[in-house]
Amino acid sequence: MTGRVDPKLSNGAHAARERALASLDSLDDASVGLVNLPPTAIQIKSALAVGAGILMAVAVVAPFAATPLPRFAAFIPFLNATILVTDLVTAILLFAQFSISRSRGVLVLAGGYLFTALIVIPHALTFPGAFSPTGLLGAGVQTTAWLYILWHLVFPLALLTYAALEDSKFTVRGSIRSAIAYCVGITVSLALGIVWITTAGDPFLPRLFVNASELTPLGTYIPTFDLLICVIALAFLWLRRRSVLGLWLMVVACALIGELAITVVRFSLGFYVSRVLSVATSAIVLVILLSETTGLYMHLARTNQMLRRERDNKLMNIEAVVASISHEVKQPLATIVMRSSTALRFLGHAPPDLEKARSALKKIVNDGHRASQIFDNIRDLFRANDQTRVPVNVNKMILGVLDMLQGELAEHHVATRTELMPEPTLVMGHQGQLQEVLLNLIRNAIEAMDETKVDVRELRLSTASRDHDGAIISVLDTGPGIDPERLSSIFDAFVTTKPRGMGLGLAICRMIVERHGGRLVASSGDKGGALFQLVLPIAPDADEFSDRGSPAAQD
């Protein structure tokens, strides 16, 4: 039976399934959330706090930026090694984000981080006094400074490009691998080109340093040009500001601006603070990406667990359905065994009692048909050609079922009260199946009330709408109610519950309702008695339905 359950129809049928699906939906968003999701209020607040912290630190340091501090030769190699690792990891994670979102902006940004990771290597190697008094790679006096200037030009340009391309319509269509390969190729060539120009072309480059520690006038002003690019990038990011990533890139831009604003003569206070800020620049996005990835992983694990539990529930449902069917069929089979063994006894009498034996055999034939009829009834309920759903008028159905049960209700002295919604409510479904469920619930209620006094037996049927997309049918009796301990297991199998309905078990009822995209819930009424609530999705407008002619339940 499960093989035929249409996933569309069972969508949202079960609380757990709803939850699992809801988190699956949000998972789709979350997997590209950093790129696509707008930041939450908390994220905006924390970004503002970090940005303000950076700018405040810069403002405090700025007046004393030129103060000379002791020379610490290992500082740059140490710092650049840190930047190399963090930016490389950031670039890899951004490439991963790109492969999910296919956003060109993210690809360029990943390239920007990769570029930084590469350029810090020659920057450290050529730094005067780090590895050799004049720097490695045949560096001249200008090499390191120009590397720094170009590094702080290319990265903000990557930010700017990201901001310009952040719109989701700029996506890469072709192969992700080749897009990444191109990006890496271009970035590496750019870095190598810059290294070549700044080392081999050192004598021809405009002079930024007079000697290892004294700046030329150009050297003093050129960081301002980089700073300007950063400000433009920040402005662009501000104008776009649509994603979590964009938000934190603004913080990165702020850190870059601060860094460039106080970068002055080497080994001054400003120099040290500005280089620490460059580590911050590289770490911010990494931290955000990592926390995002961890959150995503947790989300995935939880969803997976929920789906597994859901599958177990479904298996239990099937078990309960099979148990109730086997119980139904066992009754005529037991009778057949009883009668046939009795018939054998009749034949064993001396003389054989042929008349009695014949009568018993006739009844056995009837019992055989009865057993077969049970299967027919069950099959009818789930018949394939009964899969087309039509709008069913709930009020009409309830009144019809009550009419059908009039005799039974009178026989058991049960009074009925109906509280139906005034306007006709349509649900999508199989009239026959839903009617069968309702019949079963009412029969259960009648049987339950057999144990109570005649004058208080009342069956209350009501309809109500829920959240504008569902109809609730409530069946409330004045019987002894359901033992709270049994509430959770009442649908599992009749074995653990009091034998109430002998018809179609509650397990099958629930299965039918869930296949309608609805829910069947049991509880105890406010003033005692058992309350069964049938929640069914309301049909779309009847006209719309006939236009579409589709049997799908709405979501």
Token pair of 58 as six digits: 């810069």
Nearer to other proteins by C-beta: 360 or 405? 360
Smallest distance, Å, CB 420 to other proteins? 28
Angstrom distance (rounded) from CA 322 to CA 334: 18
Q: Which position among 255, 336, 441, 473 is part of the footprint of other proteins (CB under 8 A)? A: 336
How many residues belong to the chain?
555
492 in contact with other proteins (CB under 8 A): no
Residue 152 φ then ψ, to 5°:
-80, 5
Q: Which position among 323, 374, 420, 464 is part of the footprint of other proteins (CB under 8 A)? A: 323
Smallest distance, Å, CB 458 to other proteins? 18
Token pair of 306 as six digits: 């929920």
Q: Which position among 4, 71, 345, 466 is part of the footprint of other proteins (CB under 8 A)? A: 345
Q: Helices marked H in 391-493 — which ranges?
A: 394-404, 406-411, 431-449
Candidates 145-153, 292-300, 365-373, 383-391; binding stretch for other proteins (CB under 8 A):
365-373
Candidates 12-20, 80-88, 289-297, 339-347; binding stretch for other proteins (CB under 8 A):
339-347
Local structure of residue 501 (DSSP, 8 states): -
Nearer to other proteins by C-beta: 129 or 479? 479
Smallest distance, Å, CB 429 to other proteins? 28
337 in contact with other proteins (CB under 8 A): yes
Candidates 24-32, 220-228, 446-454, 509-517; binding stretch for other proteins (CB under 8 A):
446-454
Q: Which position among 224, 291, 304, 341 is part of the footprint of other proteins (CB under 8 A)? A: 341
Q: Which position among 10, 342, 416, 462 is part of the footprint of other proteins (CB under 8 A)? A: 342
365 in contact with other proteins (CB under 8 A): no
| Closest-CA residue to 493 (of 479, 508, 482, 503) | 508
- Burial call 188-208: b when 16+ CB within 10 Å, e when fewer: eebbeebbebbbeebeebebb
366 in contact with other proteins (CB under 8 A): yes
Candidates 60-68, 236-244, 423-431, 495-503; binding stretch for other proteins (CB under 8 A):
495-503
Nearer to other proteins by C-beta: 313 or 342? 342
Candidates 292-300, 445-453, 454-462, 524-532; binding stretch for other proteins (CB under 8 A):
445-453
Give the 3-state secondary structure of residue 521: strand
β-pairing, 458-466 with 415-419?
parallel
Angstrom distance (rounded) from CA 546 to CA 32: 38
Give the 3-state secondary structure of residue 393: strand
The position carrying tokens 């030329």 is 216
Smallest distance, Å, CB 529 to other proteins? 16
Candidates 202-210, 238-246, 498-506, 522-530; binding stretch for other proteins (CB under 8 A):
498-506
DSSP letters, 295-315, are HHHHHHHHHHHHHHHHHHHHH
Angstrom distance (rounded) from CA 190 to CA 195: 9
The position carrying tokens 């405009």 is 206
509 in contact with other proteins (CB under 8 A): no
Q: Which position among 367, 436, 477, 514 is part of the footprint of other proteins (CB under 8 A)? A: 367
Token pair of 460 as six digits: 């209350």
DSSP letters, 263-282, are --STTBHHHHHHHHHHHHHH
Token pair of 377 as six digits: 């009834």
Q: Which position among 210, 228, 239, 334 is part of the footprint of other proteins (CB under 8 A)? A: 334
Q: Could you say which residues in the range 78-137 bind other proteins, by CB under 8 A?
A: none
Nearer to other proteins by C-beta: 309 or 356? 356
332 in contact with other proteins (CB under 8 A): yes
Q: Hey, how many other C-beta atoms are within 10 angstroms of the C-beta on 112?
A: 25
Binding track, positions 405-444, relative to other proteins; x by CB under 8 A? ----------------------------------------
Smallest distance, Å, CB 456 to other proteins? 17
Token pair of 416 as six digits: 């009925």
Q: Hey, how many other C-beta atoms are within 10 angstroms of the C-beta on 494?
A: 19
454 in contact with other proteins (CB under 8 A): no
Smallest distance, Å, CB 451 to other proteins? 7
302 in contact with other proteins (CB under 8 A): no
Phi-psi region at 261: left, alpha or beta (left = phi > 0; alpha = psi -120 to 50): alpha
333 in contact with other proteins (CB under 8 A): yes
Residue 523 φ then ψ, to 5°:
-155, 180
| Closest-CA residue to 269 (of 72, 52, 55, 50) | 72
66 in contact with other proteins (CB under 8 A): no
Token pair of 391 as six digits: 């709008």
Q: Which position among 275, 500, 510, 516 is part of the footprint of other proteins (CB under 8 A)? A: 500
Nearer to other proteins by C-beta: 278 or 444? 444
Smallest distance, Å, CB 508 to other proteins? 16
Nearer to other proteins by C-beta: 49 or 334? 334
For the CA atoms of 43, 49, 55, 61, what is the dihedral angle to 10 degrees? -140
Q: Using CB under 8 A, count the residues that bind other proteins.
A: 36
Angstrom distance (rounded) from CA 275 to CA 278: 5
Q: Could you say which residues in the range 225-264 bind other proteins, by CB under 8 A?
A: none
Q: Which position among 493, 513, 531, 553 is part of the footprint of other proteins (CB under 8 A)? A: 493
555 in contact with other proteins (CB under 8 A): no
CA 313 vs. chain centroid, Å, equals 20
User: Which residues are at the interface with other proteins (CB under 8 A)?
Assistant: 323, 326-327, 330-342, 344-346, 356, 360, 363, 366-367, 370, 447, 450-451, 493-495, 498-502
